[in-house]
């Protein structure tokens, strides 16, 4: 921080009804937005923040924790807290796993597996994967994390007969698509994906460390083999404050029937 202790920038307004930790949170947010702190750079320590703003360590720690909860910063055990990168742009032009997408953006991906189990598919999954009534699926439920920040909750469904020993060979922090390709020869070449906007449920909010009812993106994706056979069905919820949807469009320089070119 550029402000010195007791300078006008570091003085807090006491007795104005806004808690001290919240005032510190707002000031740090302003500095992050202004570029005073860059993505992946460390935030000043709790001790330094406490000294510069003339507050207790508990208050400074609460301000830092609130920024973590908002996804603005992330912590690395034993190394401190760091500024989160800007929103991730969702790529709709390539079939990429979350792991591949994050690595392309220079982020460190990680997954926390909530469950991986064999089960009977519901009607929606059965129809999407074109399964008969007797076929089962493996359902992989994960929290997807980038640079220490939980980004989304993802539930992948795969026909069990295509990857019979998946629970034994799949490593939690590895790419599912890489495992499918290297272990089973499953190459996903295309996908249909639908995006909707919703609100985080209480459980999703807990897993993503956001407030219940926060805006989220809801993705429904069916991935296909080159033959056109469906091989994966995914339902996922991603944080609206960490993702943005961008489509790049081109306009053909065509003249409509009955019209003349603009001059």
Residues in the chain: 263
What CATH number did the domain enclosing 146 receive?
A: 3.40.1410.10
Q: Tally the domains of the chain.
A: 2
pLDDT at 131: 96
Measured CA to CA in angstroms, residue 118 lies from 140, 160, 164, 166, 249 at distances of 9, 7, 10, 10, 41
Contacts of 227 by beta carbon, 8 Å cutoff, 6+ apart: none
Output phi, psi for 165, to 5 deg: -115, 30
Task: For residues 43 and 135, state if they share a domain.
Answer: no
Other CB atoms within 10 A of residue 65 CB: 16
> Hey, what are 161's tokens?
């007969």
Task: For residues 108 and 221, state if they share a domain.
Answer: yes
What CATH number did the domain enclosing 25 receive?
A: 1.10.10.10
Say how far apart CA 181 and CA 188 lie, in whole Å.
8
Task: For residues 123 and 136, state if they share a domain.
Answer: yes
pLDDT at 109: 81
- In sequence order, the β-bridge partners of residue 150 are 145
**Burial label, 52 (beta-carbon count in 10 A; 0-12, 13-18, 19+):** buried
pLDDT at 60: 92
Task: For residues 167 and 53, state if they share a domain.
Answer: no
Using alpha carbons only, what angle is made at residue 92 by residues 223 and 235, rounded to the nearest 5 degrees? 45
Closest CA to 150 of 80, 60, 214: 214
- Find out whether 82 and 149 touch, Cβ atoms under 8 Å: no
Say how far apart CA 207 and CA 142 lie, in whole Å.
10
Which of 52, 83, 114 terminates a domain? The answer is: 83
Task: Provide the whole-model pTM.
Answer: 0.62
pLDDT at 3: 45
pLDDT tens for the chain, 263 residues: list them. 444 434 434 578 777 778 888 889 888 888 877 778 877 788 899 999 999 998 999 999 998 888 876 667 877 777 888 887 655 555 555 566 677 777 766 678 889 999 999 999 999 999 999 999 899 999 999 999 888 889 999 999 999 999 999 999 998 878 898 899 999 999 988 889 899 999 999 999 999 988 899 999 999 999 999 889 999 999 999 998 887 766 656 566 555 555 555 54
**Burial label, 254 (beta-carbon count in 10 A; 0-12, 13-18, 19+):** exposed
Task: For residues 196 and 113, state if they share a domain.
Answer: yes
Parent domain of 235: 88-245
Contacts of 140 by beta carbon, 8 Å cutoff, 6+ apart: 113, 115, 116, 154, 155, 156, 157, 158, 166, 170, 176
pLDDT at 169: 93
Task: For residues 165 and 209, state if they share a domain.
Answer: yes
Say how far apart CA 122 and CA 25 lie, in whole Å.
45
């Amino acid at each position: 921080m550029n402000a010195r202790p007791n300078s006008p920038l570091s003085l807090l307004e006491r007795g104005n009804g806004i808690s001290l930790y919240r005032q510190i949170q707002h000031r740090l947010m302003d500095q992050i937005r202004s570029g005073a702190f860059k993505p992946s750079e460390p935030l000043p320590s709790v001790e330094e923040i406490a000294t510069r703003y003339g507050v207790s360590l508990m208050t400074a720690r609460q301000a830092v924790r609130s920024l973590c909860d908002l996804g603005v910063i992330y912590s690395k055990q034993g190394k401190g807290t760091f500024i989160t990168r800007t929103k991730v742009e969702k790529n709709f032009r390539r079939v990429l796993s979350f792991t591949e997408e994050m690595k392309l953006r220079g982020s460190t991906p990680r997954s926390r597996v909530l469950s991986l189990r064999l089960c009977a598919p519901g009607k929606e999954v059965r129809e999407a994967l074109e399964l008969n009534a007797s076929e089962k699926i493996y359902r992989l439920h994960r929290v997807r994390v980038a640079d220490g920040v939980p980004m989304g909750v993802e539930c992948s469904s795969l026909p069990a007969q295509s990857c019979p020993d998946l629970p034994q060979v799949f490593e939690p922090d590895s790419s599912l698509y890489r495992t499918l390709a290297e272990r089973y020869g499953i190459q996903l070449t295309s996908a249909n994906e639908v995006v909707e906007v919703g609100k985080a449920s209480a459980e999703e909010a807990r897993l993503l460390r956001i407030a219940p009812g926060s805006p989220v993106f809801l993705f429904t994706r069916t991935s296909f083999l080159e033959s056109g056979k469906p091989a994966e069905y995914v339902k996922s919820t991603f944080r609206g404050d960490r993702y943005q949807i961008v489509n790049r469009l081109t306009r053909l320089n065509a003249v409509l029937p009955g019209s003349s070119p603009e001059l």
